[in-house]
Structure 1
Amino acid sequence: MPRVKINMPEEFLFTMEHPVRFSDLDYAKHLNSVAMVHILHEARLQFLASLGLTEANIFGLGMVVTDMAVDYRSQSFAKDVLVIEVGVSRFNKYGCDICFQITNSALDRVVCNAKQGVVFFDFDKHKIAAVPLAFKSLVGESDE
């Protein structure tokens, strides 16, 4: 079976650091894949916060994760500091991909590339909604 291919954005809009905790490790004492999902969730929330937004209120709409892919490239261990870069790509009518490049700062090695497909959601109407133009503008996406 072919490996997952993640198309990374041309530029990243947000960067944060995350120290690998002992609770993030698995039985082999390296970063657990489940912990990575939590780290990606936190990075998405902090990215939105850096824009003055929350998952529950992006210009009146919510954001829902519809799919996720992680392409692991190297191991990481307790006390490593991960640098997480976040960008946005592949817009469609209802959503986009939020992309992540996670690097081990001490080794300057990519730990993984990941993406979360998201859609915008009107929780009052219980329906997906078109991407707010204000969000596109905020992240530098044009409608051309």
Structure 2
Amino acid sequence: MARLSLHFPEDQYCYQTQLTVRVTDINGANHLGNDSMISMISEARARFLFEFGITEAASEGVGIIVTDLATTYKAEAHARDQLLFEVGVMDFNTYGGDITFRITRPADSTLVAMAKSGFVFFNYPSSQVTPMPEAFRNKFPQVNWLN
């Protein structure tokens, strides 16, 4: 069975934030659970978008919807670990692109996980995918485009 492999260019990360693994994030195997990692990735995404002045919720009827999430785990994380989430964007297309994540434990430089989240812009009143707003695109002029 083929395994997922995520590798991103070093220069595409444009934001970072730290999150602490809570005791309630720990699963029965005594490490950070998959469901909690997804929540932490969502929090890092929300902080990233906020930092760049972007609202996920519908602004003038248009918002961002996550279309998929791929995550590869490289090491365990435990309660009270500080995790660094480096966030970037890549592979823009007419309607959206990818938000990428590199998650490390700075205390010992351990790579904990890599993730990629697809997104599109969505017009809520018309219930349709809509082209990426120019204002969003202009915040990330360095991002590559897919046709």
- Normalising by structure 2, report the TM-score: 0.90
- 1:19 maps to what in 2? 20
2:116 equivalent in structure 1: 115
Shift of 1:6: 2.2
Query: For residues 144 and 14 of structure 2, what CA distance do their matches in structure 1 show?
Result: 19
1:3 aligns with 3
Give the fraction of aligned pairs with identical amino acids, expressed as a percent.
Answer: 37
CA RMSD of aligned residues (A): 1.8
Paired letter, 2:29: A
Q: CA deviation at 1:53?
A: 1.7
1:56 aligns with 2:57: yes
Relative to structure 1, the CA distance from residue 142 to residue 112 in structure 2 (aligned partners, 3 Å threshold; closer, same or farther) is: closer
CA 114–14 in structure 1, closer or farther in 2 if over 3 Å, else same: same
- Indicate if the aligned counterparts of 2:89 and 2:143 stay in contact, CA closer than 8 A: no
Shift in alpha-carbon separation, 1:60–1:47, aligned structure 2, 3 A? farther
- State the distance in 1 between where 2:12 and 2:125 align: 34
2:15 is matched by which residue type in structure 1? F
1:66 partner amino acid: T
Structure 1 residue 60 displacement after superposition? 5.8
Query: Is the contact made by 1:96 and 1:119 (CA closer than 8 Å) also made in structure 2?
Result: yes
* Superposition deviation, residue 5 in structure 1: 2.2
Work out whether 1:84 is the aligned partner of 2:78.
Answer: no
Q: Is the 8 A contact 2:90 2:144 kept in 1?
A: no
Q: Which runs of 5+ in 1 are unaligned?
A: none
Shift in CA distance, 29/121, structure 1 to aligned 2, threshold 3 Å:
same
Alignment: residue pair count: 144
C-alpha contact 2:103 2:114 (8 A) present in aligned 1: yes
Distance 1:113 1:59, change over 3 A: farther
